[in-house]
Amino acid sequence: MRCSPSHPEHNGVQGLERALRDKPDACILDIGLPDMDGNELARRLRQHPETAGALLIAATGYGGVQDRENTLAAGFDHHLVKPIDSSPLVDLLAPLRPAGPD
């Protein structure tokens, strides 16, 4: 799995640039970013071949029905509401983990 959990980006433009460079298998995106919202970032990620197939997980404080519909329409695969319970997140990322000894 290609990822950089210890080096997050803090705005959409930098996140997009990094994702296009690093080609991650998964991206966990906040919706409330300072320069573009996470929905717009998800739409842009889906437009590029380098990131079109990445697992996109919305991590947000917005949990209403319309918020969930908006994230799915933007291209997210999953919508998790903060505070995020780690168990569902681990389950979502587990299929991306390479097989082998722990």
In a domain, 1, yes or no: no
Of 46, 31, 8, the C-alpha closest to 81 is: 31
Provide the pLDDT confidence category of residue 2 given band limits of 50, 70 and 90.
Answer: very low
Structure tokens at 49: 């071949």
% the chain with pLDDT above 90 = 79
In a domain, 79, yes or no: yes
Q: Residue 17: which CATH number? A: 3.40.50.2300
Question: For residues 38 and 56, is the Cβ–Cβ distance under 8 A?
Answer: no
Question: For residues 81 and 52, is the Cβ–Cβ distance under 8 A?
Answer: no
* Predicted local confidence at residue 1, as pLDDT: 39
What tens digit of pLDDT does each residue of 26-54 get?
Answer: 999 999 988 999 999 999 999 999 999 99
Mean pLDDT on 55-83: 96
Q: How many domains in the chain?
A: 1
Matching residue, tokens 């390479």 = 98
